[in-house]
Amino acid sequence: AQTVTQSQPEMSVQEAETVTLSCTYDTSESDYYLFWYKQPPSRQMILVIRQEAYKQQNATENRFSVNFQKAAKSFSLKISDSQLGDAAMYFCAYRSDNAGNMLTFGGGTRLMVKP
Amino acid sequence: KAGVTQTPRYLIKTRGQQVTLSCSPISGHRSVSWYQQTPGQGLQFLFEYFSETQRNKGNFPGRFSGRQFSNSRSEMNVSTLELGDSALYLCASSLTGTGYFSEQYFGPGTRLTVT
């Protein structure tokens, strides 16, 4: 079974600075997807960024980018120019390529942004 | 397009009772997944329905069941409620999911409290 681990329960960053959230996963599969989801307080979970395992290039979405290290099974999220609205729970998630939409989530990292 | 909707948003039940939660996916989406979110266990996959068929099932007891209707709306049922069933129940919908990437959109959740 796949497992996803987020070792940082909480992180804080100063507004306008950069922060990196860590995620490691364990799988024996070669084809899969990795995701970072954001869950603001009392608001809906939204997809921040995704990475297909077969792609070597790291995904980027505006201020959000990932460092995908397939051999090391590591998938970190970098948030540049942090904004107050980035404060939320961030979940790393894994999805197999042959198991429908089932997501395996990490325990989450609470990100606080200081003005 | 309207987003994923879940009803009711809040629910208080007594131990031993049963409860039914509803999820209406985004129009055109055929896959609906359910997740349980608790402070202790985090986000855990319950099951996924696609075209009225259960495609995947998580590691939950048989008290948790679900179904999907021809219009893709889904319900989940929990019988003989236990205190530990208190959680935020999230529903997510997507077009399909297997074979190629199809983003999942999450609903606001139903907060179930068992007393």
Tell me the count of A-B CB pairs closer than 8 A. 59
**Looking at the complex, does the CB of residue B43 fall below 8 Å from at least one CB of chain A?**
yes
* Chain B interface disruption, residue of A10, A33, A51, A101, most B CBs within 10 A: A101
Report the C-alpha gap between A30 and A99 in whole angstroms.
Answer: 13
**Local confidence band at A97 (pLDDT 50, 70, 90 cut-offs):** confident
Radius of gyration in angstroms for the set of CA atoms belonging to chain B, rounded to a whole number: 13
- SS3 category, A86: helix
CA angle B67, B102, A84 (to 5 degrees): 105
Considering only the beta carbons, identify the residue of B31, B103, B109 that sits closest to A47: B103
Burial string for A15-49 (b: 16+ CB within 10 Å, else e) reads eeeebebbbbbebeeeebbbbbbbbeeeebbeebb
Query: Is B1's pLDDT higher than 80?
Result: no
- How do residues A9-34 score in pLDDT, each as one tens digit? 999 999 999 999 999 999 999 889 99
Tokens, residue A71: 């051999």
Q: B55 to chain A: nearest residue by CA?
A: A100
pLDDT average, residue stretch B21-41: 95
- How do residues B51-73 score in pLDDT, each as one tens digit? 999 989 999 999 999 999 999 99
CB atoms A50 and B101 under 8 Å: yes
pLDDT of residue B2: 82
Query: Is A69's pLDDT higher than 70?
Result: yes
Q: Which residue has the tokens 């202790």?
A: B40
How close, in Å, is residue B19 to chain A by CA atoms? 22
Tokens, residue B106: 């999450």
Tell which residue, A77, A71, A58, has the closest CA to residue A19.
A77
Cis peptide before B25 (omega within 30 of 0): no
Query: Is-contact A107 A6, C-beta < 8 A?
Result: yes
Tell which residue, B7, B35, B11, B36, has the closest CA to residue B22.
B7
CB atoms A105 and B43 under 8 Å: yes
How close, in Å, is residue A46 to chain B by CA atoms? 7
